[in-house]
Amino acid sequence: MRAQDIMSAPVVTVEPETLSKQAAALLSAHGFTALPVVDGDGRLVGIVTEADLIAERIAPDPRSADQTPRRPGETVAEVMTSPVTGMGPGTDLAVVARALLDDRIRAMPIVEGSHVVGIVTRGDIIRTLARQDSEIATDVRRHLAIYGGPDRWQVDVHDGVVRITDAFDDETDRHVATLLAEAVPGVIRATVSVSAP
C-alpha cells in the first residue's frame, strides 16, 4: 500500500503570513492535528501543529512560580516547524508509518517535487487498519476482476490478511494479484495459491 492510497487530498494549507489564530481555527474546524505551510508558489516550507500553536499561547496561572514573560507567535511563520520532511505519493505506507512513529509526528505531507498533493496522518493509518474484512474483500475482488475476470479468483480475508486462490498456475499472475491486493487499504499481507484441480 502506498501513501497515495490513503492520503487526504486536496490539502488544507496555510502560508507563513497566516495568523496563528486563523491556523488554530482551521485545525479546530476540520479536526486536523497539523497544516502544511506553503509559500506563494505552493511549495512546502514548513508545518504547523497543535503543539506549535499551543506553545506560549496559554498565560501562566498568576499563582504559578513561573512568571517568565512570554510572547506568543502571531503568525504561522513564528511558530511553524521548518524545514519539514515530505514524502512522495508512491512511498510505501510502512515507510510513512515508521517515520511518523520514529519522529514522533502526527502528520506527513505528501509532495510531488516540492508541491503538497496530500497528507497522511496517524489517524488515516488507524482508519485503514480498522477497515472491515468484508470491505477489504470486496475491494480486492473488484481489483482482481479487472485484471483476470470476475470468476477467476477466490478471496478470503481474515484480520486484514488476504488469501487468494487462483484457478491458473501462472507466476506472473500470482505476482500481479499480490500487488493488486496489497494496494487495497487495510490489507496487511496477501498470498496467492493455486486451487486444487
Q: What percent of the chain has pLDDT over 70?
A: 91
107: nearest Cα among 91, 73, 84: 84
DSSP 67-107: -------SBHHHH-B-S---B-TTSBHHHHHHHHHHTT-SE
C-alpha span between 188 and 120 (Å, rounded): 18
Q: Please state the φ and ψ torsions of residue 21, each to the nearest 5 degrees.
A: -65, -40
Identify the three-state secondary structure at position 178: helix
Q: Say which residue, 92 or 167, is predicted with more confidence.
A: 92
CATH-assigned architecture of domain 133-194: 2-Layer Sandwich (3.30)
Largest CA distance in the chain: 80
> Which regions of the chain carry the CATH code 3.10.580.10?
3-129
Query: What residue has cell string 502544511?
Result: 36
pLDDT tens digit sequence for 76-94: 999 998 899 899 999 998 8
Q: Please give the model's pTM, rounded to 2 decimal places.
A: 0.73
Q: For the chain, give every residue range classified as CATH 3.30.1340.30.
A: 133-194
According to the model, what pLDDT value does residue 133 have? 94
| CATH class held by domain 3-129 | alpha beta
